[in-house]
Each structure stands twice: as structure tokens, then as C-alpha cells.
Homo-oligomer: A and B are copies of this chain.
Amino acid sequence: MPERVRDISEFDLIDRLRDALPAAARADARIAEGIGDDAAVWRPDIGEAILITTDSLIDTIHFRTDWTTWDDLGWKSLAVNISDIAAMGGQPGLATVSLVLTGDELVADLEELYRGMGRIAQRERVVVAGGDIVRAPRDFGIHVTVLGESRRGRYLTRSGAQPGDVICVTGTLGAAAAGLALLQLESDDPRRTATTAPLLVAAHTRPEPRVRAGRHALEHHASAAMDLSDGLFGDLPKILTASGVDATIDLAQLPVAASVRALFPDRWLDFATRGGEDYELLLTVPPDRIDGLTQALSDFESTLTVIGQIDDVSASPRLHARTLDGRLEPVRRGAFDHFRNDPS
């Protein structure tokens, strides 16, 4: 019989999960107290501000265990939080993880979850410093909080965009949405076996937080930054609102992988503008800084693409897009609303 959470004690479960982490990602590796005291203790560098972010993943809402491996789920649950720290140009340092368990979960699956968390924690030098394990009647969930620190007292926000700044994104857009769409296709759909399919699915199941790019964006004086979790047309308006500016996006400039265009010729533009979970950085950068930043990112094979510009404030709507055939059209805010099916 496979061992389930309800078959072992909570103390044993905590031990097993800690053992699934690489030594470098365990609390006792680098901080004073970890799993086992009332609170974890973290000593950031003297004088740095603390950045705090929290993201929750709920079974059937944010993931499906038949679509993702447990290892990837662990990776993603930490990655999406690290991405928020990256978006502020910060250095992630410590994570707490609360598992909400029904008791039915296989212990081996949760160990795999922690191995996936441990992999990205080790790479990004994050310590998993405990948390909480609680029972729930029905919904399995993972709640992660990540603390980071500012760099020499500085960090990026959403509120610094200035008219004349260029708008740019790291990497490509729409790959995660294309990956999700692939997972949702009928099992006999030939696109599921396309050679490029695994890469797109991985973009959805195993996102890459852009910590280094965020650091360089800060160093090269980006004026505003955020990570793309709700899609370009859902997230860019948040920068515009916070900064009190308008913007125009040139859809012809959007970096979209050839595989996304090829597999979804009718949907790629929708994926790139309204698909969520790319976890690329959306940056606004003074024009005289863009070359330096582009060069810095290219040094570690990361791309930066200019996709538009920040405008003076006019009337609502604040966001315009130049369409593929050259027309300038207003964009309706397209954020994903977690409780309604229509964009709000």
C-alpha cells in the first residue's frame, strides 16, 4: 500500500519533507533557527529593506496533478514567488511553505514536491525555513511566502514609469499559455506530439523566474518593473495606474516563439497579450539606458525586446495597441479575474 499522509505522524512528515530538500536549501544551513522553532530567523544584509511576497496554488484551480509532475509543481510554487522578488530587482533569501493537506496525499508525492522546490531553492540560493502543515477537508493547496532583500537599499516598483520610456520584456510571451492550451487539447490532437510541445508545456509547468534580469534592470535604472503573471494586457495597466501614465504597445514587435505561432496560428496573439503565467519581466526603461541593459542581459543569453513606449497621460483608456496591420486601437484591460469568467 502506498504510504499516505494520514498513515504517518505529522512530525515524521515534517522530517521526511526536510530530508527531501538539498542541504543548501535547509533552514539549518544558513539561518539561525528554522523548521522547529516558533518562527524562523533570517539575517538579511545590514540596512537592506525586506521584500515579502506570497502566492498560493490550489489543486484544480492553479494546477492539475495529472498535468504536472510533483517535482515541477514544487518548482513552480517557489518560482512564482521568486519571480515577484525578481520583479523588484531583489535577491530572494528565504521561503516559508504551508501545505494544506487532506490526508489522502501520497508521502512520496510530497517528497517529490519538496525535491522540486529544493532544486530551484538551491539554484536561487533560497532557504526553505519551515512553515505550517494543516489539514483541510477537501482542497489540497500550497502556500508559499518568499522574503528577499533590496540591493544596496534600492528596489524596483511599478510606479516609476515616465513618458518617453520604452516598454520591454525579457524572453518571449505566450509560451506558457500555449503550453497550457496543449495540455487542454484532445489526447489525439497531433499538436500534442509536436517536437516543440514539451518546451511549451515546460514553460507552463516549470517557469523560470528572472532574478538576474531583475538585478540588471535595477542596476541599469529601469524606471518600473513587474513580472507577467496575468498577461501583458492584464499587467501593464497596473504599471500605468501606479505610475500615472499611458502607453502604446506595438503588437508587431511582441517576441513570440515560432513554435507558438506555428501550433496556434489563430491564438498566438491572444496568448502573447492575454495569456498568463509567462513570468517574464515587464520593464519600462529610459531610452538612453536600453542599450546598456540589453547588452547586460545578452551576457547571460537573456533577450530583451522593446514592445512599446510610455506616453503622457491622456484620457482613458490608458493603453493603446498598434495592431499587426498598423491601426492604433484602445485596449480593454484584460486581467484574469479569479472569481469571474469575464475580464474585469
Contacts and interface: CB of A to CB of B under 8 A. Distances in A.
A263 interface: no
Given A11-B344, A58-B136, A339-B101, A42 B38 contact: no
28 contacts: A9-B337, A10-B339, A10-B344, A11-B344, A13-B339, A33-B157, A36-B158, A38-B84, A39-B52, A39-B53, A39-B85, A39-B88, A41-B155, A42-B50, A46-B46, A52-B145, A52-B147, A54-B131, A55-B98, A55-B132, A57-B134, A58-B100, A58-B135, A61-B136, A96-B145, A98-B143, A103-B339, A145-B145
Contacts of A137: 58, 60-61, 138-139
A68 interface: no
B43 A50 contact: yes
Interface in A129-178: 129, 131-139, 141, 143, 145, 147-148, 150, 155, 157-159
Given A54-B96, A137-B139, 14 more contacts: A6-B340, A11-B344, A32-B49, A38-B88, A38-B158, A38-B227, A39-B84, A42-B49, A44-B50, A54-B143, A56-B134, A60-B137, A101-B339, A139-B139
A9 B98 contact: no
Given A46-B46, A61-B135, A339-B101, A52 B38 contact: no
Contacts of A344: 9-11
A13 B339 CA distance: 10
Interface string A20-59: 0000000000001100111111111011011111111110
Nearest to A156: B38
Contact of A338 (B32, B46, B135, B238): B135
A5 interface: yes
Q: Which of A134, A147, A157 has the most CB of B within 10 A?
A: A134
Copies in the complex: 2
Interface residues of A, number: 74
B51 A41 contact: yes
Nearest to A229: B38
Question: Which secondary structure dominates chain A's binding surface?
Answer: mixed
Q: Which of A11, A137, A338 has the most CB of B within 10 A?
A: A338
A272 interface: no
A261 to B, nearest CB: 29
Interface in A286-344: 335, 337-340, 344
Interface in A263-291: none
Q: Which of A10, A55, A56, A344 has the most CB of B within 10 A?
A: A56
A240 interface: no
Nearest to A41: B49
A237 to B, nearest CB: 11
A226 interface: yes
A242 B36 contact: yes
Contacts of A100: 56, 58, 139, 141
Nearest to A8: B339
Given A96-B54, A145-B54, A226-B38, A47 B46 contact: yes
A337 to B, nearest CB: 5
A10 B136 contact: no
B43 A49 contact: yes
